Amino acid sequence: MPLAHLAETDLFYETRGDAGDPVVLVHGSLVDRSVWARLIPLLSQSVTVLTYDRRGFGASPSGATSRPVKTDVADLAHLLEALDLFPVHLITHSYGGSVAFRLASERPELVRSLSIHEPPLLGLLADQASTATEGHRLLDEVSTICDQVRDGKSVEAAREVVEVFSTEPGAWERLPPSTREEFAGRMNRWREEYSDPDSLRLPPGLLSELMLPILLTSGSESPRFLTDIRHVLTAQLPNVTELQLPGAGHAPHVTHPSEYAGLLLSFLLERNVPTH
């Protein structure tokens, strides 16, 4: 697997497929590029797919990340420039949406479209009168989870994160033991990411200035607050399509890869991406 040597760090990446436009998959928190394994074969028949491990995940080494979102935006920009691979279509999950929105705003020449699934921009809810109570409750919950991690209770904190993003009780217990261990082992990084205010809010005016095509998705089985965030975003974006995935939750690329791939490719086809 190739290693990109960037100015401040190294990033491991992989490409699949050689047809159509370049598409980059940006993973969320607690996981690495392997989370896209079931989606990649379906997309790479029609587009060129780049996956990579964000700094401190998978095979990419850690580095200074006092402002994780800012660092992730810079890392992705440097990676695309190093590979001479742009403009790209970004497909992101969860925390990766915060990175994508900012990259599209700060470096518009690098991005052709955004497909964003359930970004946890809880601050947007807290800032809306109709959802302020729920938004502040969720922000308080994030703070409590961060305190648990600080106090060395990573397993309890990871369990809480999994339960927050699921509507089915017992989601943590249904995970394989190896996955539970992996999630708990990454909670220090989760705390770092979610202590960064940029992961929970976007700068005022950013959304209204994004003219590129944007697809916002959420799962019908996801917690209601994630759909509420989608609606808040849709109201502020000038060129947006919003869709709900029936039967899916927070990770359709894992649970419903065929349906999710079809939805994504339909959106990309409208952006003049050839399919086979």
Is 94 contained in some domain?
Answer: yes
What is the sign, positive or negative, of the torsion defined by CA atoms of 87, 90, 96, 101?
positive
Domain of residue 17, CATH code: 3.40.50.1820
Tell whether 185 and 214 lie within a shared domain: no
Tell whether 211 and 148 lie within a shared domain: no
Tell whether 48 and 145 lie within a shared domain: no
Question: Which of 272, 260, 235 has its CA nearest to residue 112?
Answer: 272
Tell whether 172 and 58 lie within a shared domain: no
pLDDT of residue 18: 84
Domain with 157, as residue range(s), is 129-194
Tell whether 43 and 110 lie within a shared domain: yes
**The total number of structural domains that make up the chain:** 2
Question: Which of 139, 111, 141, 125 has its CA nearest to residue 26?
Answer: 111
Domain endpoint, select from 194, 221, 250: 194
Tell whether 76 and 185 lie within a shared domain: no
Tell whether 143 and 76 lie within a shared domain: no
Tell whether 213 and 101 lie within a shared domain: yes
Tell whether 24 and 104 lie within a shared domain: yes
Domain endpoint, select from 167, 194, 221: 194
Tens digit of each residue's pLDDT (9 = 90 or more) over 125-156:
999 999 999 999 999 999 999 999 999 999 99
Tell whether 149 and 101 lie within a shared domain: no
Could you tell me whether strands 48-52 and 10-16 are parallel, antiparallel, or unpaired per DSSP bridges? antiparallel
Tens digit of each residue's pLDDT (9 = 90 or more) over 165-199:
998 889 999 999 999 999 999 999 999 999 999 99
Is 251 contained in some domain?
Answer: yes
Tens digit of each residue's pLDDT (9 = 90 or more) over 220-265:
999 999 999 999 999 999 999 999 999 999 999 999 999 999 999 9
Q: What is the pTM of this model?
A: 0.94
Tell whether 113 and 144 lie within a shared domain: no
